[in-house]
Amino acid sequence: MHHLFVLCFFFVNLTPIFANWPKATGDETVSATIKIVGGIKDFKFKRLSASSALGSGGQNEGQKAIIHAERGAVIKNLIIGRNGADGIHCYDSCTLENVWFESVGEDAATFRTSKVCGSGSFVVSGGGARGARDKVFQLNGGGQLTIKNYVGENIGKLARSCGNCYKQCNNRKLVIQNVKVTGLKTLLIGVNGNYGDVASIQNVQITGKTSAVCAVFNGNNHQSEPPVLRSYGVGSSGHLEHTQQNDREEIGQKMDAFLKSVEVQQRNIDELQKSIAALTAGQQKLHTTISELEHAQKNDREKMGQKMDALLKSVKEHQKPGNADATLQNKFVKMEEEQKKQQQNIDKLQQAISALTVGQQSNSGTGPSLPSPNRWNRAACHAGLTLFESNRLIVQRNGSHCEDVLPNPFFTISRAKSSSVFAEVPISRNQLDIFYYEVTILERKGQV
């Protein structure tokens, strides 16, 4: 998207900077185009008029230029008469200084580049133009055209970047400084927004039926009349009124939309911060639970170790010479087997704690839920219980001797109704949790 940069400053009373129309010092009719290759050419206010061989001086296309100027040429102190044909053709970089056009034909001057869209630098300093039915100056090539200290009378446009040339250039620039126009018919300057043209207007005095100071066109390269996209500095009745109401409204709408998007983003950030805070609290709680379980496991292991050490010490005393007894030896073997089973249960408990930690870190989903919030099926099966001390029960979901077994990544859950533990406090549905419950044995059956 291209933007037009327009600076319009209107001063009712400017310091006089404009010269008066000069009087011709002589007249010459030109029948062949004059070529100027570089250097300064001072005509000393001679008036040049085109013969019919160059053109009629009207608006028809195909007329020839009175002067063809090449790169570096400076044309000064010249008057172009009433038949100006196609005026002056200026290539690459040249300057028109105090050049006056008494009656503009097709164009007063056309600025081109030898390479279709080269970077030209063109300057019109001083001088003036009268009677242009359309435009005074046209920039066909690439680069910048600067017009300063210039006067215009009864003209259609002062300057235009070509709107429908076969070869179009991007990013042309028009610079207008210290210009006074009376009787402006359509607009001061025109540029092509779709080709990225830029215009700068400073210190202008305009009177006439002005429709726009600057207009942005949608240019083309097939010689169709380009439509106007937007106008700047609308004025009428001899007064210049610079307004950018459309731009202000557009900017206001964009700012409102931006503020709304910022509010939505802030709400999303607030929700995210709440979620992070909740997750952090949950992680801290889990860490505390794991630490407590590890601490309890350590204490139980130490107590069991102490008991086993005392028992082994007692057995070894009985195994000394003179105290050997076959029955005692069998008890010793049985105790070692029992110790291994207890150690296996401890290892399983440690694995369950590790699984709990890994499950929290990987944010795994929940497994199959239990049939009742406070009933733990399968718990009464003796293979699913580990009994520490006489009044403390550690329940693990690892039974293997009951019917209707459900698979689980870490444990096996049974739906057996005849063998279960009913807890007063609801049991969590988290498949990775391990719980300690105080159990009151109401009736003993079998091994439990």
C-alpha to C-alpha distance for 50 and 154, rounded to whole angstroms: 22
What distance in Å separates the CA atoms of residue 82 and residue 386, rounded to the nearest whole number? 118
Query: What percentage of the chain exceeds 90 in pLDDT?
Result: 38
Contact 34, 89 (CB under 8 A): no
Dihedral (CA of 9, 13, 17, 20) sign: positive
List, for residues 15-52, the tens digit of each pLDDT value. Answer: 546 778 999 999 999 999 999 998 999 999 999 999 99
Enter the pTM of the model: 0.52
Q: Has residue 431 got a pLDDT over 70?
A: no
Residues 374-388: what's their mean pLDDT?
Answer: 43
Structural domain boundaries in the chain: 26-247, 279-349, 365-448
pLDDT band per the 50, 70, 90 thresholds, residue 356: low
Asked if the model's pLDDT at residue 422 lies above 90, the reply is no
Task: Specify the range with the lowest mean pLDDT, choosing from 184-198, 236-250, 415-429.
Answer: 236-250
Quick one: pLDDT at residue 434?
Answer: 53
Region 174-199 average pLDDT: 93
Residue 36, pLDDT score: 96
Q: What is the pLDDT of residues 279-308, one digit of tens each?
A: 888 778 877 877 787 777 778 778 877 877
Residue 307 neighbours by CB under 8 Å, 6+ apart: none
pLDDT digits (tens, 9 = 90+) for 96-149: 999 999 999 889 999 999 888 888 999 999 999 999 999 999 999 999 999 999
Locate 274 and state its tokens. 């709440």
Q: Phi and psi dihedrals of 100, rounded to 5? A: -115, 135
Is 80 exceeded by the pLDDT of residue 90?
Answer: yes
In this structure, CATH architecture of domain 26-247: 3 Solenoid (2.160)
Query: Three-state secondary structure along the chain?
Result: CCCCCCCCCCCCCCCCCCCCCCCCCEEEEECCCEEECCCEEEEEEEEEEECCCCCCCCCCCCCCCCEEECCCEEEEEEEECCCCCCCEEEECEEEEEEEEECCCCCCCEEEECCCCCCCEEEEEEEEEEECCCCEEEEECCCEEEEEEEEEEECCCEEEEECCCCCCCCCCCEEEEEEEEEECCCCEEEEEEHHHCCEEEEEEEEEECCCCEEEEEECCCCCCCCCCEEEEECCCECCECCCCCHHHHHHHHHHHHHHHHHHHHHHHHHHHHHHHHHHHHHHHHHHHHHHHHHHHHHHHHHHHHHHHHHHHHHHHHHHCCCCCCCHHHHHHHHHHHHHHHHHHHHHHHHHHHHHHHHHHHHHCCCCCCCCCECCEEECCCCHHHEEEECCCEEEECCECCCCCCEECCCCCEEECCCCCEEECCCCCCCCCCCCEEECCCCCCCCCCC
Q: What pLDDT score does 250 carry? A: 64
Average pLDDT over residues 365-369: 43
Indicate if the pLDDT at residue 161 is higher than 80. yes
Indicate if the pLDDT at residue 13 is higher than 50: no
Give the pLDDT confidence of 217-259 residue by residue, as tens digits: 999 999 899 999 988 775 433 333 333 444 556 667 777 788 8
